[in-house]
Structure 1
Amino acid sequence: MCNLFLISGFSKLRRSRLLCPLILQQLGLTKGSYPMKYQHYLFLFLCLLFLTNPTWARKKKILVLHSYHQGLNWTDNITRGMQSIFEQHDNLEVQFEYMDSKRNSDPAYLVEFAKLYELKHHNIPFEVIIASDNNALEFARKYQNTYFKDIPVVFASIDQFDESLIEGMTNVTGVTEFIDFKRTIQEALRLHPKAKNLVVINDNQTTSAIINRNHIKSFWPDIKTDVNLVFLENLSIDELVDKVNQLDDSNIILLLNFSKDKEGNYISYQENIEIIREATQLPIYSSWVFYLGEGIVGGMLTSGFEQGKLAAQIALRVINGEDINQIPLVTSGYNSLIFDYNQMQRFDISPDQLPEGSQIIHLPLTLFEKYKTYLLLISVFLILICIIIFYSRYIRKRNENRLLAINKDLKVNRTRLLRMLDSNSDGVWEHNFKSERLTFSKQIWLNLGYDPDRVKNTLEFVYAHIHPDDQAKVEGKRLDCLKEITETFEVVFRICNANQEWKWYKGKGKILDRDDANAPTNMVGTLTDITERKLAEEQIQEDEKQIRASEKRWRSLIEQAADEILIHNFSGKIIDANSSACQSLGYSHKDLLEMNYADLDSKYSAQNLVDYWNKLSPDKSSINMESIQKRHDGSTFPVEINLSLIDLEEDQLILAVVRDISKRQETERKVLNAVIETEENERRRFAKDLHDSIGPLLSSINLYLSALKQTDEAEKKQSIIKVSREAVNEALVSIKEISNNLSPHILSDFGLEKAINSFTQKLQVSERINISFHAENLNERLNEQVEVVIYRVVTELIHNTIKHAKAENIEINLSREKDELKLIYIDDGIGFDTRKLESDKTNGMGLYNILSRVRSLNGTHKIKSNLVNGGMMAVLSVKLESGAK
């Protein structure tokens, strides 16, 4: 660089040497008329001038490396933008190099281009290099250390910029190109609301085309629309024309890139818009300004010209000594909403439909714009004449109307004030302290039901209608204003209406006029009917009183309840607990309110409890369950829990009533043991009776028969036979007695209803279970076999309920309708799987065999039970023989 500087300096000195005689000659001095030293002085002066003047110093060299070729609209626009900045500076020398990568993208070509660059520019000392579009930036990144070492790089028009594009580079910044396809698409869809398809034309061959396509696909889901996104890409020119020709009016077109068809044919931007424009009459949108005026409606258009300007401005900052690494990336300033008025007219789009700030080209001038200067001059002339005329009249009348206007304003303001007060209340009043006159507006008396023409505007008349208890209060407030203790009047009182009903009113007023001594003379105010509000307040107070009383009663009942009562939310957080819960569990009330219900349950996990609670709903607001609770000291006890839903407006809570069933379970165990013991005693008694009564008789009969065989005497045989008969009869009597113990004689003597009633009354003596028995139309005896079977069914069902169901109540209904006997048996115990009933044949003469005997009578039975909610119902029906007993 030093050598070049010296060469340039000597060249300038040589030019100075040649200029000296010419300058002296222009001054009228010939070669012989001035001393030679004048020429030497002038020569030195010119040398200094050439070497110190910056405009004659060495020019700064800038290389612009374009990705595409000269003549491409986009590239030429960027060039024009740069030149618009560089042309303002004389010390710059700009060289343009075109990679032509749009028409030649083969890697071998790019290698050859690098060789060409080395031949042309490798040794040129560029101050800065501008890389236009992605391919140029990639070339600069790849060869920075080879050709551009230590030379700042400014990039421009980098589509979908990412930091990876400059990875490994130093001394680099520039202008990114974020093309706002999204805004263009949104405006196109808004301006064409009937469109069903957005057709995107893209060649999908070049790098930028692929980037743009993927970018549109990435944000398309964010556009909430039913319009289909369709891509026309990888097509030949003819295929593209054919596809576009087939599009109907439900489509709009977004033109991206179609610089190269699938056959490798290059197509310029001018050509592709002309091809599409001639192939369709549909609206076309794009995001590049070079398509504007060529057939597109418009959109959020990216300007290459503006990007070129921005890149050139950064380059100038670098040349002027600014550190490139301190210059931030430029990401905006090149996108604008621009539309073509001619295309807008084709598709009935008015300027009012465009977004605020949109630019419109080809917009015709209005009449005002054509003749704006003349119209403005005429308007100004007319305005001046009108001003002169009106001003002269105004001056003439201003003085004479001033006093009248002031007086009128006072009256109007007073009237307006009274009307405003009247319209914002139930009426206005005015009180004159001097005359003691109190005037109510007609609206007040009408609201009270009086005839305004018959009322008197005096204090005595008004006070006569005010409640006696409120008169002193009203008078006291009035005197406070008269004595100037206060300037405002405010009181609530009752006044009687025409129906002799007391109405609540709120009176408000303020002193309006004063005399020369500043004493109050007049007060104006309003009256507002607050009867409904007072009644509502009284009702609210009464409701609150009742609520507090109800809450007190409820709390008293809760506290007096013997069972635990816990209130908790659906996550188990305990909200409240009664004293029984504290005593039963061994916790204080404060401790319980800090606990979760799951902490008290030792049978179920927290999740199992939540599953139970979630079964509660407005349709099923109560469920029962059994569990085991854990006391504070670690001991446990069985409980029965009734869960009820408390549905509040702001929340839902659960009321848990918990009953200790340890005593009940102990009683059930005792009853069950007693039943078992009774059955065993009965079996032993039956065996003893058979052994003691029937055994000896049968042995005697056996002896008599043996003796009968050994004798031939007729008389003796007759005696033996007689004794044997007596023994047989005695055995029969014994058998009958034993049989009566197995089948109660009350069943055979008095019938089925009396037998069942007697059996249930005996069981209720224990008070552990409540049995309700009802019988209808059983006045006549039934078939003996039917009575026995039904009796055995009832007793076995009761026995099963006591033994297994843990029920508290049993309901038995037995009725006869014509030739049908029906038994309905219901308990509220725990449920069971009825499908296992038929397979349970291990209980001897249990329920299975009893039900089998029902079927032997041509009867039917149905048994239902719910494993979750509990309870059992058995329905038996037996057909009776007509008239049979």
Structure 2
Amino acid sequence: MSKSIGRAGAAPRFRDRIPKRHLWFGAASLVVSAVVACLYLLQNADATMPLWGYRSDDLILAITFSVNLLTGVTLVGAARREIRSDQQRNLAEQQVLERERQLRTILQQMPAAVCVMTSAHEVVLLNDNYRKLFSNANAPHLTVHTDFDAFSPSGERYTVDRWPCRRALRTGEIVHGEDMLLSVGNGDRVWLSVSAAPTPSSTGAPSSVVIVFSDITSRRFIEEANANALKAIMRAQESERLRIARELHDELGQDLTALSIGLKGLEATALDADRKGRLAGFRRTVEMLSRHVRAITTELRPLVLADFGLRKALAELAEGWGERLDIDVDVHLDDLPERLPESSELVAYRVVQEALTNVAKHANAHSISLTARLSDGQLRIVIEDDGLGFAPSTQSPDEAHHFGLTGILERLLTVGGTLEVESSPGFGTTLFVNLPILEEAADGRALYRLSH
């Protein structure tokens, strides 16, 4: 805050009043001396003298005092303008102080932590909530909050240049509600929702940025608890599906296989052609039942996923759908490791399964492309088709009755994944799936990777 603004509204100090008094005194002296000289000349005029009765030195004196009179009047005008200027400046400074007081009051009343940072990365204005938030977090420097270890919801570390305040100053763009996880010195975790809005200078370049921090730790922990509960439910469902699938495969599947072999043997020994035909029909029925059992087993829980991992399971799933729909399937899984954490494999498989089911139901596609790779701790999956497509809605998938996408989103939420959909009528649909590969504690809770 400048000193002039700090003194606005107060009575002028003595040393500030002296120059104005000198100005007035000098102007008054010039005017009075000029008037006295004129009166003196008028009283001593001699009609017998040339030039209206005045000597030449008297005329020079008269001209000199006339100039003094003009100077005095000019100084009086300057003094009046200076007084008006001072009044206007004091009024403007009072208005600035009032606006600053209002701004500080607004900042103090806001429930969030707010600060203003200059382009030199110096915090010049902050409220008590900001002090409380970062003092409780043991900030090394109250005005430099980028000293923390911060992570995105997917577990990626924030570099200094990635902080919302730095990005807003660098690009001039507004950052809206970006969630980040702060790992503070005592080992606690603090979730913040950060917004940053740059304020331009006269040249248009950002000169400062207003940053708003909202503590959403409680909300995020509740969401995490809900996600863990949902994950536990899905894990129980998958476990039951696996049990039923194994029973169908190991018991019913084997019994049907044995029955088919027996019928084939009876068919070979039958002498009556009519009896042989009926046995062949029974055998075909049993084989069809066996295929149905295998399909149901795969739908419940693909044993190949549990036994051989995600890459082989996705390859078989895509090829199976290609044969079933009689369309071309392009699969790129070479960058996918053999095994991943069980929860991640299950979610990835179910997401691809639901996406391919949507293609079969709605797309009327001629080809499908499936790509999956692991990069920087993120499993990235792209499913693309050349089908009918649709017009993306601003509503949620559930409100827009895209229940297949809703199911995909629900599964992704259990592991902190994201889904992006690109589609337009007549130009097919592309799903971009991103799953963070998370470690798991013994109780099944997701642990974000917070190591360097």
| TM-score, structure 2 normalization | 0.42
> Which structure shows the higher helix fraction?
2
Point out which structure has higher relative CO (alpha carbons under 8 A, 6+ apart).
2
Please say which structure displays the higher CA radius of gyration. 1
